[in-house]
Amino acid sequence: MRDIYVDGAWIPSAGTDGIDVVNPATEEVIATVPAGSARDVDAAVAAARGAFDGWAATPAEQRCGYVGEIADALERRRDEIASAISADMGCPIKIAQLVQASLPITVAGTFRDPALLPGPEEIGNSLVVREPIGVVGAITPWNYPLHQVVAKVAPALAAGCTVVLKPSEVAPMAAYLFAEIVDEAGVPPGVFNMVSGTGPVVGEAIAAHPDVDMVSFTGSARAGARVSEVASGTIKRIALELGGKSPNVILPGADVEKAVKAGLNNAYLNGGQTCTALTRMIVHRDQRDQVLDLLKAGVAKFTVGDPSDPATRLGPMASEAQRDRVRGYIEQGIAEGATLVCGGPDAPEGVEKGFYVRPTVFADVTPDMTIAREEIFGPALSVLTYDTEDEAVAIANDTPYGLAGAVWAGETEHATAVARRLRAGQVDVNGGAFNPLAPFGGYKQSGNGRELGRFGVEEFLETKAIQR
């Protein structure tokens, strides 16, 4: 069983239990990590607190230099990282290489630039300065098990904070590789610490700890609410990146073939286990049949199978519990009267082992149906129809979430105008590309705070006014 990483060293956990890491394609145990304890969190937080003053006083150029070295090491170990993520959460190897391993390299690289850190500002007789908030507790999910680590740890370190990380126990192997990289980069002891374990034990101990100044959490809305509740006892800052039920609005005049293809690829990316997945395709009633024909043809190209095979486009769900959850939602969609276009709750043909789900599309979905309101987190796409543009916008906004969205129209200006009406933290227009320097975060129950770029750094800073 592996150790935990505290104060610059790999040490045994104070807990005696282990957590098996299961390959979701084979259902075999591939590793065991410690089920950390509150005592482990105490040790990690003490190390982070002890290292904070020295790290905060380290010049920004030097701190960002360490982050740059981490980015370079991630690049060197790209293939190893991709294989680890494919094995412990089931992501097809091609997607693991293109997204799971590559995106963190790009994101970490942005924080090698100290220009992202805001400088002092003169306002009247006040000198306004930004200072690192302190010890940060980072709690990360299993669906993008390295990207979410990097999106929190890299800007926190650049800002001058020290970190205690709890990676997901479902898919922790990339986080272990990341800890090795941090150690090899020579980051001073105590600046970065990692304790593996479960949310109710390690996660809650981090959130409740009086010496943790901020918690940055990514996960479900239910778990985020619990983190907020536990953290409120010590009045610490909380940044939450939670769920989504993101709309993909296709307006008359849009390139329908391009919009449907891009929308389906987005909805099924990472097996649909993506918080920004465009899971509600909102189309004009007159284009319903055309869209469904395109979706049927598109779904047929999503090869389900072994994630280590480069030809596979849809691997298993990350765990047995996640597979059962997704299948349950598909059954509920059928029960509530949605039209099953393709897929369904049964295992894909020819699959005898692994946590697989059929790629599924529903039509004639209404905004009140469960599959239109709750985050499924699997390869299940809902098609909803509208008659007017105002109705399309109303359907898009009729959700407790507000993380992402997309708009397709014949003219960019028209699509942008509609995008501004959507209550979401980021909206793609006519297939706009992901920007690692743009703010990432949501409205409503999708959370609060922002990640990436200078916005991500600012989350980890306090503001001080010095009157002179």
* Per-residue pLDDT tens over the stretch 279-291: 999 999 999 999 9
Range of the domain at 188: 4-242+446-467
Shared domain check, 457 and 336: no
Shared domain check, 251 and 237: no
Instruction: State which amino acid sits at residue 326.
Output: V
Asked if 241 and 227 count as a contact pair (C-beta separation under 8 A), the reply is: no
Enumerate the H helices of 348-411 as residue ranges.
370-373, 389-397
Shared domain check, 184 and 56: yes
**CB neighbourhood size of 374 (10 A):** 17
Give me the CATH number covering residue 417: 3.40.309.10
Asked if 338 and 362 count as a contact pair (C-beta separation under 8 A), the reply is: yes
Shared domain check, 212 and 77: yes
The order of strands in the sheet holding 461-467 is: 121-123, 126-132, 461-467
Residue 30 resides in a domain: yes
pLDDT of res. 2 = 84
Shared domain check, 165 and 147: yes
Helix 60-76 and helix 78-89: axis angle, to 10°? 70
pLDDT of res. 156 = 98
What's the pTM value of the predicted model, to 2 decimals?
A: 0.97
Asked if 153 and 123 count as a contact pair (C-beta separation under 8 A), the reply is: no
Residue 117 resides in a domain: yes
Query: Mind listing the pLDDT tens digit for each residue in 248-273?
Result: 999 999 999 999 999 999 999 999 99
pLDDT digit of tens for each residue in the chain (468 aa)? Answer: 789 999 999 999 999 899 999 999 999 999 999 999 999 999 999 999 999 999 999 999 999 999 999 999 999 999 999 999 999 999 999 999 999 999 999 999 999 999 999 999 999 999 999 999 999 999 999 999 999 999 999 999 999 999 999 999 999 999 999 999 999 999 999 999 999 999 999 999 999 999 999 999 999 999 999 999 999 999 999 999 999 999 999 999 999 999 999 999 999 999 999 999 999 999 999 999 999 999 999 999 999 999 999 999 999 999 999 999 999 999 999 999 999 999 999 999 888 899 999 999 999 999 999 999 999 999 999 999 999 999 999 999 999 999 999 999 999 999 999 999 999 999 999 999 999 999 999 999 999 999 999 999 999 999 999 999
Asked if 426 and 417 count as a contact pair (C-beta separation under 8 A), the reply is: no
Residue 440 resides in a domain: no
Residue 227 resides in a domain: yes
Asked if 304 and 359 count as a contact pair (C-beta separation under 8 A), the reply is: yes
Residues noted as catalytic: 241, 275
Enumerate the H helices of 356-407 as residue ranges.
370-373, 389-397
Shared domain check, 184 and 136: yes
Number of domains in the chain: 2
Helix and strand numbers, DSSP H then E, in the chain? 16, 22
How far is residue 387 CA from its own chain's centroid? 34
Shared domain check, 222 and 254: no
Element (H, E) at 174: helix 173-184
Shared domain check, 224 and 86: yes
Give me the CATH number covering residue 200: 3.40.605.10
pLDDT of res. 180 = 98
